[in-house]
Amino acid sequence: MREQERETLREYLDRESHYVWGKRYLLKIIEEHSAPNIRLGHNKIVLCVRPGASAEVKRAALARWYREQIKASVPHIIAKWEPLVGVKVKRVFVQEMKTKWGSCNSRERSIRLNTDLAKKPVECLEYIVVHEMVHVLEPSHNSRFIAQMDRLLPQWRARRDQLNQAPLSH
């Protein structure tokens, strides 16, 4: 991830490109006297903020929203894969991460996911969830780990490549 291409620095201005589940949306800023909120339109992310809100307030609102998108999507993915992998995930953490897409604590049976996964196609999120679930059984990227990934998700390499080809957040 360290060497991966980066997006240009986001300024959180009208018509700036942002991604949700691999699809490009244009940001639409609406100023109103209420707490920040976001809604997804046909081809727009509508971000409502207080008049004069800073770029940091807008960034934080979008970061929270991306985190919520992951948290809403992951339970369905985990429910699908727990019986297939043979692992029960006890906890899921979603946070901004600079160098990893995910990690796991096999002893605690918890996984940690990068909020930027909400910007990538949902298949990439599924790949990372399965990858971390397999790590609960096999902590390293050895031949047993690879065999499990090949058995469970034969197209995992293509999903990994798709995830690693797209530019990352700045």
Burial (Cβ within 10 Å: 0-12, 13-18, ≥19) of residue 58? buried
Domains located in the chain, CATH noted: 17-165 (3.30.2010.10)
7 alpha carbon, distance to own chain's centre: 16
**SS3 state of residue 52:** coil
Q: Which residues pair with 58 in a beta bridge?
A: none
Q: What secondary structure, in 3-state letters, does 41-72 show?
A: CCCEEEEEECCCCCHHHHHHHHHHHHHHHHHH
Tens of each residue's pLDDT in the chain, 170 residues: 555 554 677 889 999 999 999 999 999 999 999 999 999 998 999 999 999 999 999 999 999 999 999 999 999 999 999 999 999 999 999 999 988 999 999 999 999 999 999 999 999 999 999 999 999 999 999 999 999 999 999 999 999 999 988 655 54
Give the Cα separation of 45 and 16 in Å (integer). Answer: 10
Express the helix, strand and coil content of the chain in percent, nearest 5 each. 40, 25, 35
pLDDT of residue 6: 47
**What pLDDT was estimated at residue 2?**
54
